[in-house]
Amino acid sequence: MVQRVAIIGAGSSGLASIKCCLDEGLEPTCFEQSHDIGGLWRFTEAGRICVYRSVITNTSKEMMCFSDFPFPEDFPNYMNHSRLLEYFRMYAKHFGLLRYIRFKTTVQSIRKRPDFSTTGQWDVVTETDGTVESAVFDAVMVCSGHYAEPHLPLDSFPGIENHFRGQYLHSWEYKDSASFQGKRVLVLGVGNSGGDIAVEISRVAAQVFLSTRSGTWVISRISDHGFPVDMMLTTRFHNCLENFLPSALMRWLRLKKFNTWFDHANYGLIPQKSPNLSLTVNDELPSCILCGTVVVKPNVEEFMESSAVFEDGTVEENIDMVVFATGYTFSFPFLEESVRNNCRSKYALYKYIFPPPLEKPTLAVLGLIELTGSIMTGTELQARWATRVFKGLNQLPPASRMMAEVAKKGLSNKEGKIKTSYIGYMDEIASCVGVKPNVLLLFLKDPKLALEVFFGPCTPCQYRLAGPGKWVGARNTILTQWHRAVKPLRTRVINDSSNHSLVFQHFLLCICANDFSFQVEYFAFVLSEFHPI
């Protein structure tokens, strides 16, 4: 019987894992190598990987909250790192999580015990202030995330090390734009970080060039009706349309919607591959390109002493600094080699969580997912399932079946299907836990709630309506989600007697009135995919 659980890391997934252990009557011990909680979202000037000073979340508060602990209504829909860290502290205090965390403690090794095949236990060696300790745990939850090591592909850019005389750095070293004043800067990579950094630097730099290998679709945080875009896009209704409409029609609708804001071809951003592979959330990038403060360029072919030669043959001279916004890799050096090899890729894990070859399912790797919605909420649901597997309340299928599914998903990845559907994955894990909402039953028992669950945003609270971990406040939280989205916006009292109905209500009225033209326009709007931070 699993009792003691070791949790590696006290970021968002580590905090959720502690709470899930407590909910299932387990005994968690969380090891955090720094002095505080927050992980990636706790900004520091130097010394560790974290967000940059000006970062703003790409998922809204209703879509990224812990499933039984919504954000305060006065918090902004999108927030900076300090506000999010404040929320983590509120969560940890409310559920009494801090007492289970050992700060300034580094995990040196995690190894199977000699009797692992029968007990599933692990030897965990840690170091705190020079003191090394060893303890036995019945299960391990790895919550160190996939931002462990910067990916710096210098070999892919000839001349950057041997010829280029300027400075280059990875985006994890970027904190603010102060050191880029008056410089000519080249940013490599047009993902969320690359776009944000290029925009911020362009306010002080002499010129910013943004290099992209294959292009991207750029969307705003704000929907056509002023609500957070992920609240409008991430709904069960939209998910049904995506599943049933022909893929060719979906691609056309996405392209049409993406180009409604601006023509991506004119801006040099249109993706060269399938239109659903790359999305960047950025409210200012198109304006910077339009104003010329950011110039989009193709991939770099090579670097000279002070210039960059691009694949189209063009050359930009007098480049002072290069920023590699080329992402991160993950690694688990503390795991013994045989186990580490089974975790070499997220695609090697069953449901992106469990290493299939282990004799006992007592190791869970959380957060190695790339969803079209919030990773934070996906990780919390992973933790809910993992702790129930540890306790024996949920069973994993035979190893052969898990390996077959892993192989299938690995093949899909090779075909270019990089991101996983948010609702599809959440429902998949929720079914394993026994908390997937039964929408048809809801329409019979609680039509008002069912309408919000199906047509409204698929918020994390939907997975607290029934089953293990049911939360009594879930229904009211769902029915008041639009109020919380609007509350921080209404900071100026306006005497207006008109009825400002929500777009959700407008859409339902159009369905009832058979307003086909609006529905077609709305379908084009909702079929766009959302790419979080």
- The CATH number given to whatever domain includes residue 322 is 3.50.50.60
Do residues 472 and 486 lie in contact, with contact meaning Cβ atoms separated by under 8 Å? no
Residue 142 covered by a domain: no
pLDDT tier for residue 533 given thresholds of 50, 70 and 90: very low
Strand partners, 44: none
The Cα-based distances of 122 to 176, 253, 313 in angstroms read: 42, 51, 56
Q: Do residues 460 and 423 touch, judged by C-beta distance below 8 A?
A: no
Asked whether residue 181 is assigned to any structural domain, the reply reads: yes
Residue 341 within any structural domain of the chain: no
Does 453 share its domain with 306?
no
498 vs 494, residue with greater confidence: 494
- What is the per-residue pLDDT for 251? 82
pLDDT for the residue 496: 63
Of 271, 295, 328, which marks where a domain is finished? 328
Same domain? For 299 and 433 the reply is no
Q: Same structural domain for residues 177 and 313?
A: yes
CB atoms within 10 A of CB 494: 6
Is residue 121's pLDDT more than 90? Answer: yes
Instruction: Tell me if 315 is assigned to some domain.
Output: yes
Asked if 39 and 33 count as a contact pair (C-beta separation under 8 A), the reply is no
Structure tokens at 212: 């992209």
H or E element at residue 211: strand 207-211
- Residue 459: other Cβ atoms inside 10 A: 28
- 318 and 455 in a single domain? The answer is no
Q: Per the domain annotation, does 303 fall within a domain?
A: yes
Please state the rounded mean pLDDT for residues 76-83: 97
Q: Mark whether 317 and 443 lie in a shared domain.
A: no
Confidence of residue 532 (pLDDT cuts 50, 70, 90): very low
> 151: which 2 tokens?
């990916």
Range of the domain at 198: 149-220+261-328
* Percent of the chain clearing pLDDT 90 (strictly above): 77
pLDDT of residue 526: 47
Residue from 172, 344, 256, 275 nearest 524 by CA: 256
**How far, in Å, CA of 200 to CA of 54, rounded?**
8
- Burial grade of 390 (CB within 10 A; 0-12, 13-18, 19 or more): buried
Residue 493: what pLDDT? 80
Asked whether the predicted pLDDT for residue 411 surpasses 80, the reply is no
Domain count, the chain: 2
Distance spanning both ends of the chain, measured CA to CA: 38
pLDDT tens digits, residue range 227-242? 999 999 899 999 999 8
Helix or strand (DSSP H, E) at 483: helix 481-486
Q: What are 245-292's pLDDT values in tens digits?
A: 998 898 888 888 889 999 999 999 998 865 456 789 999 999 999 999
Domain termination site, one of 449, 469, 487: 487
323 and 449 inside one domain: no
In a domain, 175, yes or no: yes
Cα(392)–Cα(408) distance, integer angstroms: 27
pLDDT band, residue 518 (cuts 50/70/90): very low
Q: What is the mean pLDDT of residues 107-119?
A: 96
Domain-terminating residue out of 487, 506, 523: 487
Q: In this model, does residue 525 exceed pLDDT 60?
A: no
Q: Is 173 within the bounds of a domain?
A: yes
Q: What is the pLDDT of residue 45?
A: 80
Residues 174 and 315 grouped into a single domain = yes
Quick check: is 166 in a domain? yes
pLDDT band at 101 (very low <50, low <70, confident <90, very high): very high
